Amino acid sequence: MTSQNTPPEGRTTWSMDETGQVATILVDRAAKLNAFTPTMLTDLERAVAEVEASEARVALVRTAGEKVFCVGADITLFSQLTSVQMWRDWIGVGHRVFNALEALRCPTIAVIDGLAFGGGLELALACDLRIIADGARLALPETGLGTVPGWGGAGRLPKLIGAARAKEMIFARHEIEAARALDWGLVNAVAPAEQLEETVQQWVTDVRASAPVANALAKQLITASLEGASPHLIEGLAGGLSLATEDLREGVSAFTDKRDPEFTGR
């Protein structure tokens, strides 16, 4: 995606499509390869909160420019911080913002159209689904700078690809190409660059076709299960809650009538 009149410190914005159901969060600092600044993190936090308050059924996370998704944190900024500032104002804020993105009620899809390094990959890891162009590469190179992943990479990555592969990416700083990322389960789909948008729109269509409340409940179920909650308990509670929704009645009615359901998110 392209941007105009972007301030030097960058920005993060969001918009809604004409249906009022698909939100797009745009990380915008193409001139600096979308390297994150404090301003961009603050903007991202605000955007996530506003998407959460909207009627969005799916949110896309995109970045400005071409060939680079995001190279992570702006090294020239965080290298000047004191230890306390690094802990409190950089890593702490980043965790809070990326955790909020991860916790969004609606499903999120990271559209990775180029390099996703460091905090850029961590941004994608905070999303539910990842769709990648076939020429893109993924990496966590922080140990080569003398530091470590700071925005959830060391926690989220092993859950997706296992500890050994996560250690390879962090210790050896190996860049992972699209095909291997798909094979490892790091991404959900790979598409040629010229077909990336078509692929993204098909995924958006598929996600939107599910009941919004059911998607939100399923998202929370998966998160709770990964954190050690009993699936037997939480699935029973969520299933019971779904019985009170208009969407379930519509889904059953549509199934009986052999038609597509028209979910309202109620």
* Predicted pLDDT at 168: 97
Tell me the pLDDT of the chain averaged across its residues.
91
Could you give the CA distance from residue 20 to residue 29 in angstroms, rounded to a whole number?
26
Are β-strands 22-28 and 11-16 bridged in parallel, bridged antiparallel, or unpaired? antiparallel
Residue 2 confidence (pLDDT) above 60: no
* Predicted pLDDT at 69: 96
* Predicted pLDDT at 264: 80
* Predicted pLDDT at 3: 55
Query: Which structure tokens are listed for 165?
Result: 């592969």
Each domain of the chain, given as residue ranges in start order, spans 11-208, 212-257
Set 18, 50, 102, 142: catalytic member: 142
Residue 71 confidence (pLDDT) above 80: yes
59, 123 contact by CB (below 8 A) = no
Q: Where does the pLDDT of residue 119 fall: very low under 50, low under 70, confident under 90, or very high at 90 and above?
A: very high
Set 102, 122, 175, 246: catalytic member: 122
Q: Where does the pLDDT of residue 4 fall: very low under 50, low under 70, confident under 90, or very high at 90 and above?
A: low
Q: Does pTM surpass 0.95?
A: no
79-113: pLDDT as tens digits: 777 788 777 778 899 999 999 999 999 999 999 99
CA distances from 77 to 2, 9, 151, 186, 231 (A): 24, 11, 16, 29, 43
123, 73 contact by CB (below 8 A) = no
Residue 192 confidence (pLDDT) above 60: yes
124-174: pLDDT as tens digits: 999 999 999 999 999 999 999 898 999 999 999 999 999 999 999 999 999
Type of residue found at 193? A
Q: Where does the pLDDT of residue 73 fall: very low under 50, low under 70, confident under 90, or very high at 90 and above?
A: confident
Residue 236 confidence (pLDDT) above 60: yes
Catalytic residue check, 142 = yes
Q: Does domain 11-208 have CATH number 3.30.1600.10?
A: no
Q: What percent of the residues of the chain are helix, what percent strand, and what percent coil, each to the nearest 5?
A: 50, 20, 30
Q: Where does the pLDDT of residue 256 fall: very low under 50, low under 70, confident under 90, or very high at 90 and above?
A: confident
Percent of the chain with pLDDT over 90: 67
* Predicted pLDDT at 260: 83
Residue 183 confidence (pLDDT) above 60: yes
- Sign (positive or negative) of CA dihedral 158, 160, 166, 168: positive
